[in-house]
Amino acid sequence: MTLRIRFAKYGALRFIGHLDVMRYFQKVIRRADLPVRYSQGFTPHQIMTFAHPLSLGVSSDAEYMEVDFTEELSPEEVFERMSARMSEGFSLLSCKRLPDVPEGTRAQSLMSLVTAAEYMVSWKDGYPAPPDEDTLRSAIREFYSKESIVVEKSTKKTTAETDIKPFIYRMYMPGDAFTDPSDPGFTGDKMIKRTFDDGIDNLAHADRFENGRKFFVCVASGSADNIKPGLVTEALCEVLGYEYNKHAFALHRMETYKEEGGSTGKDGADEQNVSKDCSEGEKRSLVPLDF
Amino acid sequence: MRKLALSDEILESIDKPARYIGHEINAVMKDLSKIDIRFCMCFPDVYEVGMSHLGIMILYDMFNRREDTWCERVYSPWPDLDVIMREKQIPLFAVESQDPIKNFDFLGITLQYEMCYTNVLQVLDLSGIHLMASERGEDEPIVIGGGPCVYNPEPIADFFDIFYIGEGETVYYEMLDTYKRIKAEGGSRHDFLRAASHIEGLYVPSLYEVGYDENGMLSRFEPKGDAPAKIKRQVVTNISDTYYPEKPIVPYIKAVQDRVTLEIQRGCIRGCRFCQAGWIYRPVRERSLEFLKRYAVDMIKNTGYEEINLSSLSSSDYSKLKELLDFLITEMGNRKVNISLPSLRIDAFALDVMGKVQDVKKSSITFAPEGGTQYMRDVINKGLTEEQILTGALDAFKLGWNKVKLYFMLGQPFENDEDVKGIPVLADKIAREYYENIPKATRNGKVAITVSTSFFVPKPFTPFQWAAQIAPEEYLRRKSLLRTTLAEQLNAKSIKYNWHDSDTSILEGLLARGDRRVGAVILEAYKNGALFDAWTDHFEMKRWTDALEKTGIDIDFYTTRERNVDEMLPWDFIDAGISKKFLAREYERSKQALVTLNCRQRCSACGCNEWNTGVCLETRNR
């Protein structure tokens, strides 16, 4: 039995790296004494996978993992037992049982499902004053209507010029009537409140700041294309004429998406990564991983 | 949500910020309004090292069982943060409450190795506590030192208010009660220190005066006023009915010891002459099976760790090891928990157990002969024969192992070139056992033997406390001799040689057997930038040689000089239970390469039977 678990990471534990998050949850499951499935061999490890690593310092209401169990348990029971063994800084948000895959086939990995992630980018207090709301709104409009946004993207070894525009799904502000071209029904406010009827508040664990200035951005994430929200922020700051300092922004991941119709584990035969250029008017619709 | 002492910006700029955020699983949080005493426990090294230390876990649990006390933790900030804290004047804080250390009643620092002394000064300095105890005011924490280094606390005596000599489980509660009483009476810092000096095991260095004769020899060590002349080492006499953590703290980042530690016994029966731990934890005391079974299961349940480590100085000497392992192999196997068994003597039983708990193909077997020839092993009283090593190795090879680790020391007293050469010769003999007895068809590749040597440093309360330490040049000569001899061996290609740095060994020697005058060198080295001296990447000899020059301290006086057995030693005021006469006799026997039987074979009257516990009761009842 495989469960897909959504959790939040926040507060001081924003500073725990991805590998340590994995180690943390392995211990939570052991402390909760749950019948988790182990790999074979002399040093067995738990069958546990994660969706998309979160950068150090970023908070989130949309982290996902999948865990295999050897016995049938109710998702509610697993949720309760794990939650009782966790510390402040991690909270489970939902727990869903995945459909079983036919004998001999393997479900598509959680990691390869990830297509995009949505972030709230907030100005922190104590840094040069953020632009006022209208300035920011028009800057976002100007920024988003550009044909291309070329930035320097550096990896450990190289620095290369990349056009990030195709990998930005949408950008908006609170109260924005701005519509996502691929989803005529979409408005910023709808997204912000996550009106999906499951009681999850996707900003519940985000830090709040007195200045209140923030915007939202959905970017391509995952193994095919991956754009960090910080990169978009940096490029936006150029339009704003605001001197970019990565420490001045708080990032919060609100949602992690797969594509509509994408595998939920049933028939995951094709794991190939098709580049998801979202500028071509052919944007596929995104649904949260817990759908 | 808790407020952190470090800003996001700082946490985002430093390596492993999780070292400083606290709030680990099983860390203890308390309501400040309901407690009287704030105690901060410090391991003066980086978090991952400090979090691996069992002693702190035991004391942390013990202190926090008191409702009136909140014990928290602090570790040395890594150099990247150290720079930021100095620049931004951020006071050092405890990881639990994130409150400045300066607000605490006590700062307890465990001293596990001498090379951490500059880190002690770092912790005090960053906390805003005066480095010199004599300059501390009423509102500064009482700074206490503990751990094996305090068997000669004199080189760091000026920096501490109190040293706790011996095992922490015995008199800390009495000390806290005394503190509360004196505080309630409106007493001063000095009043408390005077009262503390009357608690057995507590040494208040400011209440003693030392003097030196015209040759610079220590000639006077006297209590001022009514402080006791001798400080008695503290020993837990009821080892199966004492404090032990049921819920050890689980760090978020990987500690050096990423596992649960089960201390199966304390002390050692062996009496190896070089080994300070073998003497200062006497007599050996075994914990009961019931105690160990209960804690093993509880700790695994409460932490979620996937490995349990049996800790002791010599696990094979634990008399109920077989029963304990039978239990653990079943119980831990069901829970998919690995068992790690360091310090096991390789014999048929050990190999059987290791075969059950380890992957034979990947793991190695370890011997610590410490000396390359039988003569040398007799000098140091290491009761391990060549035959035992070769038989053990061959048995292991037959069972599929092909990796062997060998540990030796260079520069022990009475070592000759023949003994140095004996090290590679022994390694080669082990390789021969493999190639001569294991048929090609069943071999799992080549045999891989690793020889590691460290340089011997004489320590207080061992029979070698009077011995001359070898000069660095001589260390290096012996190392080279070992290498050349190794190259001449038939199976040289199967033997890898690692050696330890000699600079730190000579400083360790200075700090281990120094007197109060050595404190000036430590302070000066710290001012020169010395920090994390136990880390090869951070150690710089020049900071220390400059400090020696500036303070005019002659390092040879403390290191390469052999002491007369009648000489007054800086640590003579400590009553460690082992008589000086006994140690002198052992030193004499080592000169003659005479073996002394272990505690189970025969009591050698070291003096530790006064505690009426552990192996001393066994031998007497026989």
| Domain extent at residue B87 | 8-232
pLDDT above 90 covers what percent of chain B?
92
One-letter amino acid identity for B153?
A: P
pLDDT tens-digit series, residues B234-282:
999 999 999 999 999 999 999 999 999 999 999 999 999 999 999 999 9
Closest C-alpha to B557, from B436, B617, B468, B493: B468
| pLDDT-derived band at A72, boundaries 50, 70, 90 | very high
Give residue A260's pLDDT: 72
Query: Which region among A139-143, A181-185, A285-289 has the lowest average model confidence (pLDDT)?
Result: A181-185
Q: Is the model's pLDDT at A276 over the cut of 50?
A: no
DSSP state letters, chain A: -EEEEEEEE-GGGGGS-HHHHHHHHHHHHHHTT--B-B-SSSS--B-EEES-PPPTT-EEEEEEEEEEBSS---HHHHHHHHHTT--TTEEEEEEEEPPPPPTT--PPPHHHH--EEEEEEEEPTTSSPPPPHHHHHHHHHHHHT-S--EEEEE-SS-EEEEE-GGGEEEEE-TT----BTTBTT--HHHHHHT-STT---TTTT----TT--EEEEEEE-SSS----HHHHHHHHHHHHT----GGGEEEEEEEEEEETT--SSSS----------TTSS-PPPEEETT-
Task: Note whether B1 contacts A88, CB cutoff 8 Å.
Answer: yes
| pLDDT-derived band at A22, boundaries 50, 70, 90 | very high
Give residue A189's pLDDT: 56
A19: nearest CA partner in chain B: B253
Q: Is the model's pLDDT at A273 over the cut of 60?
A: no
Angle at B31 between CA B25 and CA B36, to 5 degrees: 115
Closest C-alpha to A216, from A181, A248, A190: A190
Q: Which of A15, A24, A26 sits opposite B11 (nearest CB)?
A: A15
User: Does B63 share its domain with B207?
Assistant: yes
User: Does B170 share its domain with B290?
Assistant: no
pLDDT tens-digit series, residues A93-116:
999 999 988 888 888 889 999 999
- Looking at residues A243-258, what average pLDDT do you find? 94
Q: Is it true that domain A2-98 has CATH number 3.30.70.580?
A: yes
Cut 0.95: pTM above it: no
Give chain A positions within 8 Å (CB) of B300: 30
- Looking at residues A125-132, what average pLDDT do you find? 94
Assess if residue B487 is contained within a domain.
no
DSSP state of B154: G
Assess if residue B575 is contained within a domain.
no
Continuous H helices in B66-188:
79-88, 117-127, 172-184
Give residue A106's pLDDT: 80
Gap between the Cα atoms of B620 and B588, Å rounded: 26
A12: nearest CA partner in chain B: B21
Task: Note whether A42 contacts B362, CB cutoff 8 Å.
Answer: yes
Q: State whether the Cα torsion A207-A211-A213-A219 is positive or negative.
A: negative
Count residue pairs from A and B with Cβ separation < 8 A.
75
* Backbone angle region of A48, left / alpha / beta, with phi > 0 → left and psi within -120 to 50 → alpha: beta
| pLDDT-derived band at A37, boundaries 50, 70, 90 | very high
User: Does B79 share its domain with B191?
Assistant: yes
Give residue A108's pLDDT: 85
Gap between the Cα atoms of B224 and B207, Å rounded: 5
| pLDDT-derived band at A266, boundaries 50, 70, 90 | very low
Assess if residue B378 is contained within a domain.
no
Q: Which residues of B572-602 are buried (b: 16+ CB within 10 A; e: fewer)?
A: ebbbbbbeeebbebbbebbeebeebebbeee
B17: nearest CA partner in chain A: A15
Give residue B619's pLDDT: 65
Among residues B200, B232, B264, the one where a domain terminates is B232
User: Does B93 share its domain with B113?
Assistant: yes
Encoded tokens for B238: 């009821």
The alpha carbon of residue B188 and the mean position of all alpha carbons in its chain are separated, in whole angstroms, by 34
Mutate to test the interface with A, among B306, B340, B361 (most CBs of A within 10 A): B306
Task: Note whether A56 contacts B17, CB cutoff 8 Å.
Answer: yes
Give residue A281's pLDDT: 40
User: Does B59 share its domain with B126?
Assistant: yes
Assess if residue B57 is contained within a domain.
yes
Assess if residue B165 is contained within a domain.
yes
Q: Mean pLDDT, chain B, as a whole number?
A: 95
Here the contacts of B592-595 (C-beta below 8 Å, separation 24 or greater) are B593/B375, B593/B378, B593/B379, B593/B414, B594/B378, B595/B378, B595/B381, B595/B383
Mutate to test the interface with B, among A9, A22, A30 (most CBs of B within 10 A): A30
| pLDDT-derived band at A277, boundaries 50, 70, 90 | very low
User: Does B167 share its domain with B266?
Assistant: no
Give residue B310's pLDDT: 94
Q: Which of A12, A42, A87 sits opposite B359 (nearest CB)?
A: A42
Residue B605's CATH number: 3.30.750.210
Gap between the Cα atoms of B196 and B173, Å rounded: 12
B336: nearest CA partner in chain A: A44
Assess if residue B503 is contained within a domain.
no
pLDDT tens-digit series, residues B86-141:
999 999 999 999 999 999 999 999 999 999 999 999 999 999 999 999 999 999 99
User: Does B220 share its domain with B332?
Assistant: no
Q: Which of B12, B304, B306 sits opposite A28 (nearest CB)?
A: B304
- Give ranges for CATH 3.30.70.580 in chain A: 2-98
Among residues B183, B206, B232, the one where a domain terminates is B232
User: Does B42 share its domain with B138?
Assistant: yes
Query: Which region among A19-28, A43-52, B61-70, B189-198 has the lowest average model confidence (pLDDT)?
Result: A43-52
pLDDT tens-digit series, residues B152-193:
999 999 999 999 999 999 999 999 999 999 999 999 999 999
Query: Which region among A71-85, B5-19, B472-486, B608-622 has the lowest average model confidence (pLDDT)?
Result: B608-622
Give residue A178's pLDDT: 54
Q: Is the model's pLDDT at A193 over the cut of 70?
A: no
Give residue B454's pLDDT: 94
Task: Note whether A13 contacts B252, CB cutoff 8 Å.
Answer: yes
Alpha-carbon distance B358 to nearest alpha carbon in chain A (angstroms): 7
User: Does B73 share its domain with B215?
Assistant: yes
Helix (H) or strand (E) holding B286: strand B285-286
User: Does B287 share its domain with B262?
Assistant: yes
Query: Which region among A187-196, B14-23, B403-412 has the lowest average model confidence (pLDDT)?
Result: A187-196
Task: Note whether A23 contacts B254, CB cutoff 8 Å.
Answer: yes
User: Does B13 share its domain with B138?
Assistant: yes
Give chain A positions within 8 Å (CB) of B362: 42
Give residue A197's pLDDT: 55
ipTM entry: 0.91
Q: Is the model's pLDDT at A265 over the cut of 50?
A: no
The answer to whether B363 faces chain A, any CB pair under 8 Å, is: no
Cα radius of gyration (chain A): 20
Domain count along chain B:
2
DSSP state of B166: B
- Looking at residues A7-29, what average pLDDT do you find? 96
Q: Is the model's pLDDT at B568 over the cut of 60?
A: yes
Say how many CA atoms lie within 13 Å of B197 toward its Cβ: 20
Query: Which region among A84-88, B47-51, B347-351 has the lowest average model confidence (pLDDT)?
Result: B347-351
Among residues B172, B197, B232, the one where a domain terminates is B232
| pLDDT-derived band at B392, boundaries 50, 70, 90 | very high
Give chain B positions within 8 Å (CB) of A246: 12
B358: nearest CA partner in chain A: A42
Give chain B positions within 8 Å (CB) of A13: 21, 23, 252
Assess if residue B409 is contained within a domain.
no
| pLDDT-derived band at B353, boundaries 50, 70, 90 | confident
Task: Note whether A15 contacts B254, CB cutoff 8 Å.
Answer: no
Alpha-carbon distance B204 to nearest alpha carbon in chain A (angstroms): 39
Give residue A269's pLDDT: 37
